Amino acid sequence: MLGATGSIGQSTLDVIGRHPDRYRASVLAAHRSVDDMEALCRRFRPAHAVMGDADAAQALAIRLKDVEETRVVSGAETLDALVSDPVIDTVVAGIVGFAGLRATLSAALAGKTILLANKEALVSAGGLFMQAVRQGGARLLPVDSEHNAMHQCLPVSANGEPDMSNVEKIILTASGGPFRGRSRDSLQDVTPAEACAHPNWSMGQKISVDSATLANKGLELAEACWLFDRRPDQIDIVVHPQSIVHSMIRYHDGSVLAQLGQPDMRTPIAYCLAWPERVDAGVAPLDIVAAGKLEFEAPDLNAFPCLALAQQAIAEPGGMCVFSAANEVAVAAFLAQEIRFTDIDRVIAGVLEGTNFSEPETLDAVQRLDEAARETAAETVMALRA
C-alpha cells in the first residue's frame, strides 16, 4: 500500500480489514506520518513499514520494537525492491503527487496488478508508464472513481484491458466542487478551508483544492486518454453536482452506460481488489429514490480556467507533466495562504508559457521537466506575492 496514511490508503485498508481471509497488507508505505503509521502497523502487522523520511523511519522503529512481525525501513531503492518482490501480487498506488511515480513504475515493470490512484504516473509520464505496463505485463486497474466507472461500463479482457472497439464517447463527470455556480470575481478571497470543504467527497487537502479549481478534471482527462487510448476530443466533461453518476460510456448504437453509486472511494477500491469478482466494501447501497434528481451541466471555463489550461497542455509533448508540477506548487502556496485561490491558474498559465516542452522518455527526463516546471512555478508565486 503506497500512501498508507492518506485518504486512499485508509479507505483501502478499511476494505482489506473486512476481508482478512482474502487479503494481507504486507507492505505499508508513507512519508513521515509516524503516529498514523504506528496505528496501522499495530492493526495490520505488515512485514515491512516503509517511511520516505529517514528520521520518521527511525522514530517509527523505536515505537514498534514490540511488533516483531514488522520491519521498519526507508529509502526509494528499498521501496522499489519491496514492490518488485514476488511475494507481492498487488500494489495500490495511492501516494499523492510526483513522489509516487518511481515506485509505481517499479511495480509496472515487475508485472504486478496495480490499483492506480496516483494520477502522476499517467499525467506526468503517461507514455513511459504505459510502456512499463506493457513491458512488465502488469495489470492496470483504475481506482479513481471516474475511471473506475468507465472500466465497469466497458467489456474487458481477462487481463483487465478494456475493449474500446464500439465506443463513440467517454463522458467524464465532475462534481463542480464547492464553488460551482460562482463567478470568477466572487472567488478572489475564498479561504483554504472553504476550498477543502467538498460537498460530496472526503479527500485530502490537495485533491480537494484540485476539485475546487477543476484542475482535477484536467488531470483525469489526461489519465483517461492514456488508460483508454482516446484523444481528448473523444472525451466529454460534464458537471454532475450529485456525484451519483461517476462516469458514462456512449456507444456507436446510441446506448449510454453509466455507473452509479455512493460517493465513497471504498466502492472503486473494492471493485479493483476483487476484480473480476465483487466483495463487500462497507458502503451503504444507493437509494435512487432518496437521491432524487440527477443534474448535468457544462463546466464554466471562465470561472475555472484550470480545466481549459489542462486541455491546452495535453496537446503539447510533456505538457501535462508541466501542468501537474505547476499545479502542485500553486496549490501548496494557496494552502499556505501565500497566494489567492484565483492565482492558482495564473501560476499554471505562467509556467505553461515559460517552459520548453518535450516528451520525457526516461524517469530522469520526467524529473528534470518536473523540476524545471516547479522552479518556474515558485518564481511565479514569488512574483504574485510581491
Residue-wise pLDDT for 319-363, tens only, equals: 999 999 999 999 999 999 999 999 999 999 999 998 878 888 898
- The burial of 333, by beta-carbon neighbours within 10 Å (0-12 exposed, 13-18 middle, 19 or more buried), is given as buried
* Best CA proximity match to 202, nearest among 8, 5, 4: 8
Residues 6+ apart with CB under 8 A from 18: 279, 280, 281, 282
CA distance 361 to 365: 6
CA distance 90 to 212: 32
Distance of CA 344 to the CA centre of its chain: 19
pLDDT of residue 201: 67
Instruction: Match 514490540 to its residue by C-alpha cell.
Output: 66
pTM equals 0.91
* Best CA proximity match to 61, nearest among 51, 188, 237: 51
Is residue 73 a contact partner of residue 60, using CB atoms and an 8 Å limit?
no
The H or E element that residue 9 is part of is: helix 7-17
CATH class entry, domain 7-143: alpha beta
CA distance 154 to 150: 6
Q: Which residues of the chain have pLDDT under 70?
A: 201-202, 386
CA distance 52 to 28: 11
Amino acid at 256: V
pLDDT of residue 98: 72
CA distance 335 to 54: 26
pLDDT of residue 204: 78
Where do the H-state alpha helices sit in 260-362? 266-274, 288-291, 306-314, 319-335, 344-353
Residues 6+ apart with CB under 8 A from 325: 98, 124, 351, 369, 370, 371, 373, 374, 377
Question: Does 162-263+288-385 carry CATH code 1.10.1740.10?
Answer: yes
Where do the H-state alpha helices sit in 75-124? 76-84, 101-109, 120-123
Would you kindly state where each structural domain of the chain is located, as residue ranges? 7-143, 162-263+288-385
Task: Mark 160-187 as b/e (b = at least 16 C-beta within 10 Å).
Answer: bbbeeeebebbbbbbbbbbbbeeeeeeb
Instruction: Match 511565479 to its residue by C-alpha cell.
Output: 380
Helix axes 34-44, 7-17, angle to 10 degrees: 10
Is residue 222 a contact partner of residue 144, using CB atoms and an 8 Å limit?
no
Q: Where are the beta strands (DSSP E) in the chain?
A: 27-30, 48-51, 71-74, 90-93, 113-116, 139-142, 167-174, 235-239, 245-251, 256-260
Q: Strand 245-251 and strand 256-260: pairing?
A: antiparallel
Residue 27: beta bridge partners? 48
